[in-house]
Structures are given as structure tokens and as C-alpha cells.
Chain A
Amino acid sequence: MSRRVIKIFTLLLILGLFNLQGSYVFGKVKIEYLSHTTDINELKLYRELGEMFTKKNPEIEVEVTSVPERFYEQLQIRIASGMSPDATFLANWYIPPFVERGALTCLDPFVEKERYNLAKFFPNTVEACKVGGKLYGLPRHPSPMVLYYNKDLFDKAGISYPNDNWTWEKDFLEAAKKLTKTDDKGKYIQWGAYISRDISHVLLPIIYCLGGRILDEDMKKCVIDTPQSITAIQWLGDLWVKHKVAITPDLAAGLAGDPFVLGKVAMVPQIYPFIITQAQFIKDFKWDVVILPKGKGGRWNRAAVGVHAIPAGAKHPEEAWKWLKFLATEEAQLKIAESGLVMPSLRVLASSPKFLQPAKGPQINRKAFVDGMTKSKLVKEIFHPKWSEMETQVIAPEFDLVFLGKKSAEEACKKIAIECNRILGVK
């Protein structure tokens, strides 16, 4: 009996050995691309792109794996334990903390060797993939915000649609006031806007437009306690507390869907994928998009860029670089753009009718996205390696109090400055 048990154990052991991941398949190099997607269509798309790539490079096979949950946690653990994928998706604000810990492969040697043309991308997206002047990823997609607006609600209120010269302080606020409605009992039934409380991706660019900022130009010191920044934060808070022209998050969460899609709010700052996830299902009213308003601080947008990168410790960096280059070709970018998931990072493609007037999907002012990238400066705070710590520990909790009307912006900003400077090590 015991012999039989030992036999079974040996068998299991051998089976286990077979299961070890082989990165060489009969003379071919197999590279692994790690995707963050939760969307089955995107996964299919990348597998298709993998096949297209192998047709051109028969010696390389691409295996697309996906980690739909806690992606960055998994990616870190895989790099830390020496099991890096060969190429990966990465949001660009993870580049600085990853680079600081030596977790990404610098792409400069590849670029220099081949004189690879980086000018084909939106220039600020390439900048947004650099740390200390060195390149760590190729842009997959820029992700500027634009202002989505409900044409029917504007028509009903008798105000003209937002245009390229709109400002937050005047035009946006005035329109929002006119677009906010209560019923006979004074209960709010329609709001001017829905502004997400997401600091990194929504509020930062707005604060900059309003003339405020969180960190100074060199990102060495927190300057949120300057009068301009305090005014900006108070202006934001007033949208909910004083003017009540923005729907509060608790009410928004109680709706049976997105407030904009349900026609409850007239305007929402959102990104390109909002079309495919939400706006394309709108049947009851007409809508369009326009470049994000500017303010006395100028025109700003978010610096978020989706990136393809090579982790440190990748076993086949040369092959991974070829794959990265392929993903940045017009052919691959067009496929990605056609899926409607993201806008292309190639300038030519983004300004071509293929993107601006696609055969499928709603016909809207897509140029607003391109303008959002070319006409705005990008907010850099999210690249600070300690940004996440400052945001979740200090800034978000204090902003919560301002937006609830429990604290003045001045008090909150002073506290934020002290705490952030402590995290930044400013004496």
C-alpha cells in the first residue's frame, strides 16, 4: 500500500515538473504580455494582435495573460519574485515609483540604436512616460478629459452649448446654476454637473485651471496653502455646498445608473472610454463633447497615459521591444482605436477621419479629445513617487470635509500643506 502511495506522489511530482512554464516552444521564443483588462473583448483584441505580430515575426509567439484584479499588486509581486512578464500594460503614474525601485527596463538604448521615431506620438504623452529624461514606456493611449454635455437640457434651459472658450469660473458655473432644478417642494431633481471626487484623475486638472496647485513646479514642496490654491479648492467645494449645482456622491450612487446617462445632470467631465462604457447607450437625448473649460490658471488636463512597458527582469527584452513597437504601429493602433476602448496615441491617426468620423459609434466632436491633448498642459502631481500616500492619507480626507461643508478650504489646505510637507521631508 505504501509503495502505491509513493508511486502516486512521484507521478504527481513529475506532472508538476511538466507544468513549469516553458518559454521556448520548439525553436520559437514565447513572450508573455500581461494585460490589466477586465474586458473580454479587449483580451480577445490583444490575442488577435498577438497573432498578427507572429505572422510578421514567425520566431516570436505572444502569450497574453490577464490579471483583472489588483493588477499592480500582482505585477509588483511577479517582478519582485523574479517572474516578470516580458511586456506589460502600465498606467504611466506607476512609472516613477516602479523606476525608483528599478522595476522597469529603460527603452532609450532600443530607441537610440534604431533611431526609433518618437515624434509620431503626442509629444506630451512621450514626456509623460519619462523619468529623469529617460523613457520607460511607449504610449498606448492618451486619456484627456473632455466635457460631455446634454444638448436637450441646454436647449430646454435656453442657453447656448459650451464652446472652446468656456471658463470654469464664469461660463461653466453660470450654466450649471441655470441647469440645476428643484421640484415644487424644493427637492433637487436635476443638477448642472456631476464632478467625481477622484482627485488624481478629475479634480487636479480643474484645480490647475482655476489657478491652484498642490505641489510646486519641482514637486519638492506642497504649496496648497497659497491664496490661489485655497480659492480654487473653495470654489470646488462651493459647487456642492454653497451653489449646490453638482450632484453629491451619495445621491449619484443611489441612481440606477450614471447620472449623465439618466439625464439627471447636464455636464460631466469624463474621458474617452466613457463613450463605450456609458454614453453610447443614451437613447433619450442628444449629447456631445467639448474641450474641458479653461480658467484663470490656463488650460490643463490630466497626464494619464496608458503605456506598454518592459519590466525589469524580462527574459526576452529584445523580443518584447519588437512587440511594443508593433503595438505602436498604425495598424495595431487602428485596431485598438476601432474597438472604441481608447483613443490612439499616434498623432496622425488621431487626427485622421478613421478616428474623428468612425464608421461605427456616435458621431460627435471627437476633435475635443485631440485638442485636449495638444492645447493643454498636463498636471504632473500623479508622477510623484509619494503622491498616492499624500492623496489617500492627507488630501482626500481633508477634501472630504471641505466638500461636506464641515471645514473651510483655508483650514483644510493649511493642514494638508503641513502633512504633505512632512511626507515630502520638507523642514
Chain B
Amino acid sequence: MKPKKRESILGYLYISPWIIGFLIFTAGPMMASIYFSFCDYQLLIPPKWVGISNYIRIFFNDQLFLKSLWNTFYYTVGSITLGVLGSLFLAVLLNQRVRGETIFRSMFYLPTLTPAVAMAILWGWLFNTEFGLINRTLSKIGIQGPAWLYSTEWVIPAFIIMSLWGIGGSRMIILLAGLQGIPQELYDAAEVDGVNWWTRLRYITLPLLSPSIFFVIVTGIIGSFQIFTASYIMTGGGPANASLFYVLYLYRNAFEYFKMGYASALAWILFIIIITLTLFQFKLAGKWVYYGGQ
């Protein structure tokens, strides 16, 4: 065997645990679920081909599909807008040369390490109507707080607020790395020209940071469309389906109502929605994302 060929075989062998895992546990089930989405599949008995009738029911005869999609969309817009702004704000703060900056970075990152279930329980307390920290604080300044998780109007805002818990996480790290990659010469030159901080931010920082911002928005939206654990544990989709998110609805169809085929169809629709949104963002990106080399 030629050394080169041997090397490439070894290479594949080394990454084979990942490749095999991906094929068996991700790609395989994905392909299978395309097929199941055209079937009446109740998990314990073999799937029965029903053509596109699952899709027809989803689009024309399923109010909860629209409701859960709307809930998810509402949550995504809120949590991504506030979340990215929050992360950006933190990243700019932490980019200052202050004493103990690494300690601050660790501190802000720490909350994201909390396990989802523990976080859900903790936030359940914070949001409590009478004794929760949030309503207690509001009542000190004379505001009667809402019932949050038990209110049809406030449950999604509550989840959005809860998602801000993670602004100091990996998203902020990426933005911070982006900030530190901006060459100091540009700022020095700006200073020589005597421009103010807003102009510096507007014409140097934001354009050069735009690829990082773009990345965190795209991945953020993908992640946020898949919100599940929080509502599964904290509200069970309630009250009155006000926090029924798309993936929770999908999960219920699959494992509570025994409709694996229907759930597979829901999953592929979600996939298409996310892909479309992502492609759309890439298209828009040409207008505002600046890559240094261009």
C-alpha cells in the first residue's frame, strides 16, 4: 500500500466512530422518517402507506399546527432579538480592558452550564405569582405582576425572559472573539481622524462584526425553533395551549397519541421551515454582512 493511501484509510478509520454514529443514529432515522411521514405509523404495528394525507391534515385540518407554529415564531422573534442584543451588549462590555476580565467572562458564562431541568425549576420559582423574586421586586415599585406561567398572555414573554438567562453563553463568546479579531489599527486611525464612539461603532465595529452576528442569528433561530424542554417541564403547553411549542406538539403526537407518521410529517415541515428561513437569511445577508476579503 502506498503511504498516502494508507494514510487516508487510517484517517477514515479514526473518524469512523463519528461517521458510523452519524449514519446509524442521524442520517438513517432521518431517511426513515421521510418514509414514515407518508404512512399511518403507530410505532407498535408496521407502517401503512397513506400518501400525502398526513400533510393534507396538517395544512387544512389542524388548528394546533398553526397555533404551535405561531407560539414558536413569537418566542423565536422575542428571544432572538433580545438575546442577540443582550449578548452583543455583554460582549462589548467584556471587551474592555479591565482588571479581572477573565473572571467576569467566566461569571457570565456560568449560568449556561445549568442543566435544563434545574433551570426550569429555578425559573418556576422566580416567576411565581406571589412569592417569586420577579413579582416581589415589581410589587416594591408598585406594579402588580402577572401570573406569568399561569397566564395565557404572559407565558411566552416569560419563556422569552427565561431565554435571556443564556445571553452570556457561547453566543457571547463568539461575538467576543469577533470583537477581538477587529484590527486595532482601524480604531487608531479613527482616533486620529477624531470620530466619536457612535461613528466608530457604526462604521468599524458593526460591519467587521457582522459575520459573527449573522452566524449567531442563524444558529440561534435554528435552536429556538426547537424549544421543548422548558415548556414540557414547566407548563406542559398550557394554559389553554398558550405555550404549546411546535416540538412539544410533535412529541405528543409521536409518543402520547401514538401517531409516529403524523409526527414525522410535522418534523419534515419544521425542517423545511427552518431551511427556508435560513436560506432567506443568507440571501438577505448579502445586503448587510461584510466579509473582509470582498
Contacts and interface: CB of A to CB of B under 8 A. Distances in A.
Interface in A395-410: 396-398, 400-401, 404, 406
Contacts of B66: none
A386 interface: yes
Name the residue among B9, B10, B44, B129 with the largest chain A CB count within 10 angstroms.
B44
Given A79-B44, A250-B128, A398-B240, A101 B258 contact: yes
B44 A253 contact: no
A406 B242 CA distance: 14
A400 B238 contact: yes
B36 to A, nearest CB: 12
A404 B44 contact: no
Contacts of B239: 397, 400-401, 404
Interface in A367-412: 386, 388-389, 392-393, 396-398, 400-401, 404, 406
Interface string B114-153: 0000000000110011111000000000000001111010
A5 B255 contact: no
Nearest to A407: B240
A388 B257 contact: yes
A259 to B, nearest CB: 13
Q: Place the interface of chain B in its size category.
A: 20 to 34
B45 interface: yes
Q: Place the interface of chain A in its size category.
A: 35 or more
Interface in B2-61: 6, 9-10, 13, 42-45
Interface string B52-76: 0000000000001000000000000
Given A392-B256, A397-B241, A250 B42 contact: no
B128 A103 contact: no
Contacts of B255: 70, 72-73, 76
Contacts of A5: 10, 13
A336 B24 CA distance: 42
Contacts of B257: 386, 388-389
21 contacts: A9-B13, A72-B255, A76-B43, A76-B255, A80-B43, A101-B42, A101-B45, A103-B44, A250-B149, A253-B124, A254-B129, A254-B130, A254-B132, A386-B257, A388-B256, A392-B236, A396-B238, A397-B239, A400-B240, A404-B239, A406-B152
Interface of B: 6, 9-10, 13, 42-45, 64, 124-125, 128-132, 147-150, 152, 236-241, 252, 255-258
